[in-house]
Amino acid sequence: MTIQTRYTPLNAFLAYLQFEKRYSLHTITAYSNDLIQFFDFVETQFEGLSFDQITGTMVRSWLAGMKEEEMTGKTLNRKISSLKSFYKYQIQQGKITKSPMETVISPKISKRLPAFVAENDMEQLFVNLSFAEGWKGYTEKMVIQLFYATGMRLSELIGCKENQLDLSKRIIKVLGKGNKERMLPISPELAIELKKYIAQKPKEALGNPSLFVTEKGKTLQPKAVYTFVKFYLSQVTTLQKKSPHVLRHSFATHLMNNGADLNAVKELLGHSSLAATQVYTHNTIEKLKEVFAKTHPKA
From 248, 249, 254, 266, the catalytic residue:
248
Q: Distance between CA 180 and CA 270 in Å, rounded?
A: 8
CB within 8 Å of 134: residues ≥ 6 apart: 215
From 153, 249, 254, 266, the catalytic residue:
153
pLDDT at residue 25, as a whole number: 85
pLDDT at residue 276, as a whole number: 86
CB atoms within 10 A of CB 261: 10
Q: Which CATH superfamily is domain 8-103 in?
A: Tyrosine recombinase, N-terminal domain (1.10.150.130)
From 173, 245, 282, 287, the catalytic residue:
245
From 7, 23, 148, 280, the catalytic residue:
280
Does domain 119-295 fall under CATH 3.40.50.10240? My reply is no
CB within 8 Å of 155: residues ≥ 6 apart: 24, 26, 222
pLDDT at residue 224, as a whole number: 97
pLDDT at residue 180, as a whole number: 87
pLDDT at residue 191, as a whole number: 97
CB within 8 Å of 209: residues ≥ 6 apart: 161, 162, 163
pLDDT at residue 87, as a whole number: 96
From 84, 170, 271, 287, the catalytic residue:
271
Q: Distance between CA 268 and CA 280 in Å, rounded?
A: 13
pLDDT at residue 269, as a whole number: 96
Question: Does the active-site annotation cover 26?
Answer: no
pLDDT in tens, the chain (299 residues): 567 788 888 999 999 999 999 888 888 999 999 999 999 999 999 888 888 899 999 999 999 999 888 888 889 999 999 999 999 999 999 999 999 999 999 887 766 778 899 999 999 999 999 998 999 999 999 999 999 999 999 999 999 999 999 999 999 999 888 788 999 999 999 999 999 999 999 999 999 999 999 999 999 999 999 999 999 999 999 999 999 999 999 999 999 989 899 999 999 999 988 988 988 887 777 767 777 788 878 76
Question: Does the active-site annotation cover 280?
Answer: yes
172: part of which helix (H) or strand (E)? strand 171-175
Q: Distance between CA 32 and CA 29 in Å, rounded?
A: 5
pLDDT at residue 184, as a whole number: 97
Sketch the domain layout of the chain as residue ranges.
8-103, 119-295
Q: Distance between CA 119 and CA 21 in Å, rounded?
A: 38
Question: Does the active-site annotation cover 112?
Answer: no
Taking alpha carbons only, the member of 13, 26, 29 closest to residue 177 is: 26
Question: Does the active-site annotation cover 271?
Answer: yes
pLDDT at residue 185, as a whole number: 97
pLDDT at residue 179, as a whole number: 80
Q: ∠ CA(161), CA(165), CA(169), 5° rounding?
A: 175
pLDDT at residue 121, as a whole number: 95
